[in-house]
Amino acid sequence: MDVTLCIYDLTGGMAKAMTGPSGAFSGMLDGKTVDMVPHTSVRAFGSEIVFAGGVRKQPAAGMRDMMGRAPDRLEAMGATQKTEAELDAFLVSVAPSWTAASYDLWTKNCNNFSEAVVRFLCGRSIPAWILELPNEIRPTPLGQVIAPMMASQQDALKNQLARGGGLIEAVPSPPPPAPEGPTMTVTVKAAAAGGEGPKKLTVSATATVGDLRELLQVDGAPRFVFMGKLLKDDAKTLKSYGVKDGLVILVVGARMSSSPASSPAPAA
């Protein structure tokens, strides 16, 4: 089964005009022209899968009517060996981590979700420029100007796609069971100002950095920092980095899940 990445320009061509040679932001991106600000979805098994107010799987044939236009680009991602049943199970499993509340314009958006789906189906990444663009334009004057417009476009898009249904319901995760054996309590909070509030977690005294990542339901991109030190090895225990009961760990680079997964079992 072939897998296709659908790419839509949220700005309708405005980004290219603004960053081109005669545009208002010409020269403010080191001479680079931004061709588009992409919104993406993934087509497979006759459906289009998208992150819009949650995880949605809708008939591809009706997407043009709901979007009001065809994709600006189509990128072949290759063939998948997964079955549609496996895809459906995957979407149900990730839906609690991809909700309307968890959406972030710059760090957890439709393109990040398309990346997760394509990696599951094809074991490869979507085009790098799509994932790198937010880091390139966010700190620039262009980023400040188009951010409200993109947020408005995303809201309109979410409402359009909601009419087509297809929402994969996010089943709340059960409360995590208390770890067996010795435990410690750590507080995890976002390093950036305005991030999510702190989370107090009880973990095994032998929990690793990878266990913490799994508990918070974040992938390999976010980084954990403790006392100015990067916790870069997922295989190492938190204690090996000096983390003790009652101390604070910072998370950099992504939102944390609002529903932590089950606590990791202590090492034997």
Half-sphere exposure of 26 (CA within 13 A, CB side): 6
Q: Tokens 């009001």 — which residue? A: 68
Residues annotated as part of the active site: 39, 110
Structure tokens at 86: 């496996």
Let me know: does 188 contact 251? Beta carbons within 8 Å. Answer: yes
- Cβ-defined contacts of 233-241 (< 8 Å, 24+): 233/209, 234/208, 234/209, 234/210, 235/208, 235/209, 235/210, 236/208, 236/209, 237/206, 237/207, 237/208, 237/209, 238/184, 238/186, 238/203, 238/207, 238/208, 238/209, 238/212, 239/205, 239/206, 241/209
Structure tokens at 232: 């870069």
Let me know: does 162 contact 41? Beta carbons within 8 Å. Answer: no
Q: Tokens 């079955």 — which residue? A: 83
- 104: closest CA among 42, 214, 190? 190
